[in-house]
Structure 1
Amino acid sequence: MIHWALIFLIVAIVAGVLGLSGIAGVATNIAWILFIVGLVVALVFLITGRNPRI
């Protein structure tokens, strides 16, 4: 999840530099949501003591 969040963040930065504000806003929102979901999943694994399989 964090990997995809970073990818969408990079897309948002590139789109923002190119002046595509609509695409940058959407990519930023997707990156934020994926980051939060990934953080929650990581905390659940930390609390339960399970190792995520990559």
Structure 2
Amino acid sequence: PHPWPLSFSYGRAMQQAALKLWAKDMKANYADAQKTVAARAKENGQAALGRWTGK
């Protein structure tokens, strides 16, 4: 009934897994952390559209 989309802010959820990787070794886990954030961003986008199936 509203003319705008409403979604949840997933910012912290996107960052949490990457922060855990970086806490162990930022240089060694840099690429894996980026992949994790990208995957979470994709999942969050799907969730905002009601298309996320839980993997």
> Shorter-chain TM-score: which interval?
0.3 to 0.5
TM-score by length of 2: 0.45
Q: Larger helix proportion, structure 1 or 2?
A: 1
